[in-house]
Structure 1
Amino acid sequence: MEPKFLHLLSCIILLLLLLLNPFSLFTHANSPHHHHQLNTQKPSPMNFLKTLIGARKGTTSKGISQLKKYLSHFGYMNRNNNTTPTHQTDDFFDDNLELAVKSYQTFFKLAVNGIMDANTVAKMSRPRCGVPDFGLNRSDQLYLRIPTLASHYTFFPGEPKWPATKRSLTYSFPPGERSDVNQAILHASQIWANVSPFRFSYIPNYDQADIKISFQYRDHGDGFPFDGPGGILAHAFAPTDGRLHYDGDERWVDGVTPGAFDLQTVGLHELGHVLGLGHTTDGGAVMNPYIGAGIRKFLGQDDINGIKALYHF
C-alpha cells in the first residue's frame, strides 16, 4: 500500500504546483521576459519620411507637418516666417517648405529640385547630430549663397568661442555614468588637443567641470529632446556652455561594432561643437552632421581648417 500512497501524494503535490503557478512547466523561450527581449527593436522616428517620396509643392500628404518640424529644427526654415502663416504646422507642401527643401539639398550637394526625391529622403533618414546646421534666424535665401562659399566648415551664429584666457578645459561625467565613455572622451579630447591650442583634463567634480558629459533620454529639460533609437544621436552647446549629451536610447560602444554607434566618433564631433564649430558639408570631416553606425571617424582637413579659422592660430 505504501507505494500507492506515495504515488498519490506525488500527484497531489504536482497538481498543487500547477494550480499555484500554471506557467511553471513552460520553457524559458516562451516566458514573458524572453518575449520582451525579442521585441526591444523600436521603429526609427524617421520612418515617416518613407511615405513622402515624390512629395512636392502643392501636394498634401500625411507626414509633411513632421517634415516641417524636422527642417525647422535644423535651421532650414523659419518657424516665424509671416509670409505663410497658415501652413506652418499642417500637411500642405507650400512655398516655404519648397525653399527649405532646396536649401537642404544645396547644403548636402543633392539635386536641387525642391522635391522629396529618393536621395533626399535617404539622406534625411540617416542618424545625425541634433545641433542645427544653421541658426533658426538665418535668411531664407542663404541656400543661394552656399555654393559660393570657399570653405565647408561653419560656426555658430555670432561665432561664440572660449575666451583667450581659457585654453585648459576640464571635463567630467555625473556619478554612476557608464564607464566605457571615459576612455572614448579621453581619446577624442586628445585628438582635438593635437590640432588646437586647447588642453583637456578629467576632474571628478561634475558640477565644477567646464564640459559636462552625460547620457540623457527623450525630453531631458534643455529644450532639445531626444527622439529614441535611430534619429538624433547626440547634441552639444556652443561655448561657453559646455554641455554634451548622448542619447541614452541608442546602442553605444567604444569601438567599431555593426549596428552600434562609436562613443569616440560622436564624442569627437560633439566636442567640436563645444569648441565652437558648426556643421560642415564635407562628408569626410567629423563635423559632418550625419554619423553612421559601425564606423570610426577622425578629424579631416576641413575640421582642422575650421578650428584654426575660429581661434586664429
Structure 2
Amino acid sequence: MEFMKLLFIASFCVIVCEGMKTKEFFSPKLSNKSVESAWECFKNLTGAQRGFTSKAMPNLKHYFQKFGYLSIPDGENATEEFDEMTESAVNMYQQNFGLKVTGKLDQQTVTQLMTPRCGREDVINGTTVMWRKNGGNFSYGTKHYTYFTGTPRWSVNRRHLTYAFDPDNEVTEITQTEMQTVFASAFQRWAAVIPLTFTETDDFSSADITIGFFYGSHGDGNPFDGVGGVLGHSFAPEDGRLHLDGAESWTVNLESNSPMTAIDLESVATHEIGHILGLGHSSIQEAIMYPSIPAQTIKVDLQNDDVEGVQGLYGSNSN
C-alpha cells in the first residue's frame, strides 16, 4: 500500500513538471512525503538563454504565468523556445528577487526558481507591484512592501477577527495543540503592531479566517503541486481563506530530526496571515512577506518592511 502511495505521488510530480498550468487536477490525500521537488525539472534549464529550446521550457513559462511574469493567451500552448517574452520575464524575475539581471537562467536564478514559495503572484497584469505609500500617494519602487490591487483591508467594524481550523482538512504530523500554538503565535506577531485582535473559535462556519491543508485541486482554482513547490496561498481581505499544501513535510520543530524537505509551519503561517491582512509580496529578502523560503528555514519575526506595510493599512497600536 505504501509503495502505491509513493508511486502515485511520483506520478503527480511528473504531471506537474510536464504541464504546470493553472488548471485544476485531482490529487488525493497522501501521507508519503519522500519524493523530489515539484520543480526539480528546472535543473534541466540551467544556462538557458534566448534562442535555447527545450522540452522543459513550457514548464518555466507556466511558472512565470502563475506568478504574473508572463501572459500566455487562452487557447495557445507554451512553446519550447526561449523567446523574447521569456527573456523579459526572466529579467523581471531577477530584478524582483535582487538577482543579477542577465535575462539568462544562470545557476543562482534556477536555484531561486526551485525554492519553495507562496502561491500568490508577484506581478499583477504585467506590472510589478513594488509600490509604496508616500505622502498619501502611491508610487512605484523596489525592495519594499506591496498591496493587492485596490488596497483592500478589513473594515473598521471588523477589527476583532476570529479564526478556525478546517476539521476535514488536517495533516497527521501536526497535532491540534501544536497547530493552535503555532497559529496563536503567528497571529500575535501581527496583532502586536496593528489595532486588530485574533481569537480562535470552534465555529468553523462563522469564522472570519479559515485555515486548512489541501492536496492538488481543492476548489479555489489554485491547485497545489506537491512537495517543494507552492507551500500555501491565502486571499486578500475580507475573504479570510488560508490554504496550505498538505503534501509538504510540515514541522513545528526543525531540530527534531526533521527531513531535508521540512517546512517550518509558523514561518509560512506568519507569511500567509500577511496576505489575509492585505499585504502582497516584498522584494526584501529578510521580510516575512518575501515570496519564498527554503526548506529547513525558520523566519517568523516581522521586519520593518512588514510593519510599515501593515501599519499603512491599519495604523499602529500606539495611535
**TM norm structure 2:** 0.80
* Aligned match of 1:308: 311
User: Which SS does the other structure have where 1:246 is aligned?
Assistant: strand
Residue number in structure 2 paired with 1:272: 274
Report what 1:166 is aligned to. Answer: 158
Aligned twin of 2:290: 288
What is the rounded CA distance, in whole Å, between the counterparts of 2:38 and 2:304 in structure 1? 33
Structure 1 residues 170 and 251: CA distance shift in structure 2, 3 A: same
TM superposition shift of 1:80:
3.5
Cα distance in structure 2, aligned partners of 1:303 and 1:123: 21
Is the 2:194–2:315 contact (alpha carbons within 8 Å) kept by the matching residues of 1? no
Distance 2:130 2:279 in 1: 22
Please name the residue that 1:211 is paired with.
209
Task: Tell me if structure 1 keeps the 8 A contact 2:281–2:289.
Answer: yes
Query: 2:252, 2:266 within 8 Å by CA — same for their partners in 1?
Result: yes
Distance apart, 1:56 and its partner CA: 1.1
Is 1:248 aligned to 2:237, yes or no? no
Counterpart-to-counterpart distance in 2, 1:63 and 1:262: 30
Kindly state the Cα deviation for residue 165 of structure 1 after the two structures are TM-superposed: 1.6
> Considering only CA atoms, is the larger Rg found in Structure 1 or Structure 2?
1
Higher relative contact order (CA closer than 8 Å, sequence separation 6+): 2
The root-mean-square deviation of aligned C-alpha atoms, in Å, is 2.7
What is aligned with 1:238?
236
Tell me the equivalent position of 2:265. 263
| 1:102-117 superposed matches below 5 A | 102-117=91-106
Deviation at 1:150, TM superposition (A): 6.1
Instruction: Say if 2:85 is the partner of 1:93.
Output: no
1:58 maps onto 2:73 in alignment: no
**What CA deviation, in whole Å up to 9, does each residue of 1:258-277 have, x standing for no partner?**
43211111110000000000
- d(CA) in 1 for partners of 2:227 and 2:40? 12
Counterpart of 2:10 in structure 1 is none
Q: Does the CA contact (< 8 Å) of 1:167 and 1:199 recur in 2? A: yes
Alpha-carbon contact 1:254-1:262 (below 8 Å) kept:
yes
Q: How far apart are the structure 2 equivalents of 1:182 and 1:252?
A: 14
Letter in 1 for 2:58: S
Q: Is the 8 A contact 1:162 1:275 kept in 2?
A: yes
For 2:290, the aligned partner's letter is N
Residue 120 of structure 2 is matched in structure 1 by: 131
Pairing 1:27-38 to 2, within 5 Å after superposition? none
Partner SS for 1:58:
coil
Is the contact between residue 106 and residue 143 of structure 1 (CA under 8 Å) also seen in structure 2? no
Whether 1:156 and 2:148 are equivalent positions in the alignment is yes
Q: Deviations over 1:150-202 (max 9, x none)?
A: 65111111211111221111000122645121111011001110011110001
**Which residue of the partner structure matches residue 200 of structure 1?**
198
**Count of matched residue positions in the alignment of Structure 1 and Structure 2:** 275
Structure 2 unmatched runs, 5+? 8-31, 133-139
Letter in 2 for 1:182: Q
Percent identity, aligned pairs only, is 41
User: Residues 255 and 296 of structure 1 are in contact (CA less than 8 Å); yes or no, is this contact kept in structure 2?
Assistant: no
Code of the aligned partner of 2:153: K
Contact in 1 for aligned 2:130/2:143 (Cα 8 Å): no
Q: 1:211 is aligned with what amino acid?
A: I
Q: 2:14 — aligned with what?
A: none
Partner SS state of residue 274, structure 2: helix
CA distance in 2, matches of 1:276, 1:143: 13
